[in-house]
Chain A
């Protein structure tokens, strides 16, 4: 089992997961911007899908998180392509859409990395929303945020890694 360390491989697999998901689901190709690594773990957006990264299920501990964060306008425009109707508020379809997007991106990320020695376990996404909300991971660690730009707006993907992954899973 490989520890999660920010490197080119993880960056590449985030990009691969996003590209495969968005091109198939929305026929759009988001362009990645330069990623940033921060000591803090605060992620901002209007609607965010969050999934726990767990490699050893027997220890029931979270080693990090994968977070997709969207401004409302971006996710509304994306979902309009599928539902063929405008979205003006974060309704159940927006929440479930972000949850499923997070799930699919994680599925690709997980499968590709597990072929290279990681052991990510299946996990279900949670969705948080609220204009300009912040997701704050209370445990010490680092975050890698990758901004994306596409024809319907911007969004970001953040990978957080806890320095101390011995605490029990919460939530």
Chain B
């Protein structure tokens, strides 16, 4: 098992600032303060690429599902098409708490999903699970 308590670099993608702030605050409570934000899918893809080029890649991305211009699923698929980011953990954040959406997200390559409103204890569980796996495999 890896170390989930190690601070991770995280990207939050959501068109609503209120969600970005709440998620940022919740992650800070878990000890993760190196957090970037993107207000839409295009900016997210640019930030993911820039982070990789700066040799400071994100350890985890939270991506909203319903966004204008580019949906969260389109962002997810665009990331997965690039072999450099094939293993980048992406958690889909959605108000769509239904089985068919979950199945679609996982089939499209999502690492996990979380339903709004985000419960802190569920966020902690999912973040720890993903980071444990990453840090464990990197060790």
Residues of A whose CB lies within 8 Å of any CB of B are 20-21, 24-25, 79, 82-83, 93, 96-97, 99-100, 103-104, 106-108, 110-111, 114, 122, 124
Contact = CB atoms under 8 A, between A and B. Distances in A.
Contact of B117 (A24, A106, A114): A24
B16 A111 contact: no
A107 B118 CA distance: 12
B17 A96 contact: yes
Interface in B73-122: 94-98, 115-120
Interface residues of B, number: 19
B115 A107 contact: yes
B55 interface: no
Contacts of B25: 82
Contacts, number: 51
Contacts of A100: 16, 18-19
Contacts of B19: 100
A124 B16 CA distance: 13
B139 to A, nearest CB: 34
Nearest to B100: A114
A99 B95 CA distance: 12
A117 B95 CA distance: 19
B118 A111 contact: no
A51 to B, nearest CB: 11
